[in-house]
Amino acid sequence: MAKKIRVLLAKPGLDGHDRGIKVVAAAFRDAGMEVIYTGLRQTPPMIVEAAIQEDVDAIGISILSGAHMTLFPAILEEMKKRGAGDILLFGGGIIPEDDKIALEKMGVARIFTPGAPTEEAIDFLQKAVARKSSDEKIM
């Protein structure tokens, strides 16, 4: 059976605006992916724990409140701590250009800003997941 792309989508922080992330979830689903949407107010440990349990290829988060410079690094940190550094982290929201550059330097695979078509995110994810490889032996 062909491997499906599995992606976890979550909203960290206190911001409840979920229109964008639901549109992205639907678009990913319609591009043939399995999307695990874990909803609002997810803390970095909750997000990374869910990503590990669901064995996802990527984590996508959406932040519109301005707390991105706190939350992205916290999630990266948690991923490192839990040995989940191989999972791609990407995100979207109202994120100024300077911050976007800083975050991508920090290890966030990609930041999408308002107006980006969902197709762009789909294309990014398909290519990025295809590049990933694992040499782990199962048994």
Q: Which residues bind another protein (CB under 8 A)?
A: 1, 3-4, 6, 13-19, 22-23, 25-43, 45-46, 49-50, 52-55, 65-67, 69-71, 74, 82-84, 94, 96-97, 113-115, 117-119, 136-139
Shortest gap between Cβ of 96 and another protein (angstroms)? Answer: 6
Q: Which is nearer to another protein, 96 or 130 (CB)?
A: 96
d(CA 50, CA 60): 12
Contact by Cβ (8 Å): 35, 57: no
**For the chain, how big is the Rg over CA atoms in Å?**
14
* 81-107 CB burial, b ≥16 within 10 A, e <16: eeebeebbbbbbbbbeeebbebbeeeb
Shortest gap between Cβ of 137 and another protein (angstroms)? Answer: 4
Q: Which is nearer to another protein, 109 or 118 (CB)?
A: 118
